[in-house]
Chain A
């Protein structure tokens, strides 16, 4: 299965600022997924990033708040913009490799705290 390098692993940010999270995959993948995991909550899909096209956002998430880049088949970034304390969460990227029976591979996550 794929190996994902995600960074930063954690950060503490001031409200009103932005943070960009990076994910690098060791193989080419068509789709990359960005999730948010708030304390005690399930993973919630933010958006799906395809190379060469605009990301597809889930209900409740908008591009102005969470712009995504996907410049090639191995890399993607998620920016959390104009942050507020409600954005404090763990953010994870994910890919599907090896077909449906192989499940999804996740990055190690970015723990974001907004103060």
Chain B
């Protein structure tokens, strides 16, 4: 069955370091992959989208990679700050026949001052 896996354990890192979060998927060939940030009691907020033919996408301190061979996306936050502490979700969509995204369970990131 189709599956999206994100590390369910919280990730704690020191301020200033690079946080790297992983999104793995199986039995799925996504055309688009998105990353969202979700704070407690709030809805997810869109961060970045990467297409299957793109290896890497950057936005300010954020970088996303997409390896369709490994079936994996990595999400990096450089020079992390305590304000980056949140849960980060990945979501996948196939290209045809659907507008629907399938979401992972998210990884909670805590940046320690």
Contacts and interface: CB of A to CB of B under 8 A. Distances in A.
A43 B44 contact: yes
A103 B42 contact: no
B46 A43 contact: no
Contacts, number: 52
A42 interface: yes
A21 to B, nearest CB: 13
B42 A104 contact: no
A100 B43 contact: no
A40 B46 contact: no
B81 interface: no
Q: What interface size band does chain A fall in?
A: 20 to 34
A41 B99 contact: no
Interface in B3-40: 4, 8, 32, 34, 36
A101 interface: yes
Judged by DSSP, the binding face of A is strand
A31 B99 contact: yes
B41 A100 contact: no
A45 interface: yes
Given A100-B32, A103-B36, A42 B103 contact: yes
Given A40-B105, A108-B41, 11 more contacts: A4-B43, A31-B99, A40-B8, A41-B105, A42-B105, A43-B44, A43-B103, A102-B46, A103-B34, A104-B101, A109-B43
Interface of B: 4, 8, 32, 34, 36, 41-47, 49, 89, 91, 99-106
